[in-house]
Amino acid sequence: MTAPKKLHVKTYGCQMNVYDSERMAEAMAAQGYVATDTPDDADLILLNTCHIREKAAEKVYSELGRLKPLKARNPDLRIGVAGCVAQAEGAEIAARQPAVDLIVGPQSYHRLPDLVARANRGERAIDTDMPDEDKFEHLPQLRTPAARPTAFLTVQEGCDKFCAFCVVPYTRGAEASRPVRRLLDEARALADRGVREVTLLGQNVNAYHGEGPDGRTWSLADLVWAMADIDGLERIRFTTSHPNDMTDDLIAAHGECPELMPYLHLPVQSGSDRVLKAMNRKHTAARYVDIVDRLRAARPDLALSGDFIVGFPGETDADFEDTLRLVERVGYAQAYSFKYSARPGTPAAERAGVPAAVAAERLHRLQSLLTAQQRAAQEAMVGGIVDVLLEKPGRLPGQMVGKSQHLHAVHVADAAGWGGRIVRARVTAAAPNSLAAELV
């Protein structure tokens, strides 16, 4: 018998890529490929790439340069590029890097086994179509027990919002929601495998409008309530949301659905109405703050996270001050902030950016403020009680690591044997990015 072929997947970018990488690994497992953690002994290497900012996209080319010599050692090695860079720059990758054997866009993963077979025959296989069919319908169902008690579940893909800076509407295509029945089946299968917490994923997840089993179109709130009824699923989260789709039923669910965790990633990008307009965000800073207030009225302990871009074309000092003011007003438990990166093909790429040094300085100031807020929020947890879903052993003997309701990373002492369960713990100390706790 010949040894099974080995697959190494390297994932860049967002959680949706993490989910897609798992689905691709399952599809290839059905073809006899076993997963390996290193590229060195792999027969197939897949880079699941991210195109959101220039830096992310450039990583692909440097990684390909590093992987190329492996082909001299193993002539049967096949290298593939998947994800959003494959979608956006497939032809350029093919031209720039002859070591690449296959290129597959995010909407074509169900064709991966066929593409790999072609690559193994020595063909160069490229598929960056955006077919109408649901790729997940054609991917194998999960069978093995879950390695972790948490899982991602893609419920919606693509984006129709066309923010002026963003490549997503081009790389992931138009908004599409998966049907409710499929999602509930998948969530039940996850719960049966030991998953206790599911994060519903979508580029615009709160714009979810899927076909319900009753023939109605279901909202994300409807879906959350149905997921909450599944035996064994104790926690539900969703990401990423757009303020304009934060509907009343979803805000209410944050107050009323005990399984929906009190943490929300709600990007605003800027606190200046002028910049928000230039970004084509279609909401004002005041509207965003009002949504946050209504969410907090529904769920007072809601932890908020956000995304910010500094140095967007035309952003003045006064605009940037508005962003700082919004951050002060909202108070974030956690946030991501980026220097604007001009992406080819997006409307904003045509406009003149702010000087790099100005953008760098603004990023530094914004990050200092966000870090201070995060630290203060972490410190405030000391002495309090948290519910932690324990995921894996920590570095210390007996220690287990997991997430609180508010998505803090928590190291719980003397908790061996509690893996996969939700425990109550008292917070004993706060570090910048995690909490220490003991069982109560």
Would you tell me which residues interact with ligand SF4 (CB under 6 A)? 159, 161-163, 166, 168-169, 203-204, 242
Query: 107: which 2 tokens?
Result: 């909407």
What letter would DSSP give residue 140? P
Other residues' Cβ atoms within 10 Å of the Cβ of residue 382: 14
Nearer to ligand 5AD, 171 or 373 (CB): 171
Q: Report the alpha-carbon distance of residue 409 to residue 333 in Å, rounded.
A: 12
Coil vs helix vs strand at 243? helix
Nearer to ligand 5AD, 279 or 295 (CB): 279
Task: Name the phi and psi angles at 420, rounded to 5.
Answer: 80, 0
In DSSP terms, 425 is beta-bridged to 386, 439
- Please list the alpha-helical segments (H only) found in 110-208: 112-120, 168-171, 180-192
Q: Which among ligand 5AD, ligand SF4, none contacts residue 242 (Cβ within 5 to 8 A by kind)?
A: ligand SF4
Kindly state the number of chain residues that form the binding site for ligand 5AD, as judged by CB under 6 A. Answer: 12
Provide, rounded to whole angstroms, the least separation between the CB of residue 323 and ligand SF4. 16
Angle between helices 285-298 and 317-330 (to 10 degrees): 10
Which residues, numbered 52-91, are part of the site for ligand 5AD (CB under 6 A)? 52-53
Nearer to ligand 5AD, 219 or 341 (CB): 341
Please choose, out of 255-263, 325-333, 339-347, 365-373, the segment that lies near ligand 5AD by the rule CB under 6 A: 339-347
Provide, rounded to whole angstroms, the least separation between the CB of residue 273 and ligand 5AD. 17
Please choose, out of 85-93, 116-124, 326-334, 338-346, the segment that lies near ligand 5AD by the rule CB under 6 A: 338-346
Nearer to ligand 5AD, 134 or 307 (CB): 307
Residue found under tokens 């020595």: 122
Q: Report the alpha-carbon distance of residue 18 to residue 13 in Å, rounded.
A: 8
Query: 302: which 2 tokens?
Result: 């809601």
Residue nearest to ligand 5AD (CB): 307
Pairing relation of β-strands 435-439 and 422-430?
antiparallel
Nearer to ligand SF4, 159 or 200 (CB): 159
Residues interacting with ligand 5AD, by CB under 6 A? Answer: 52-53, 165-166, 267, 269, 307, 309, 338, 340-341, 343
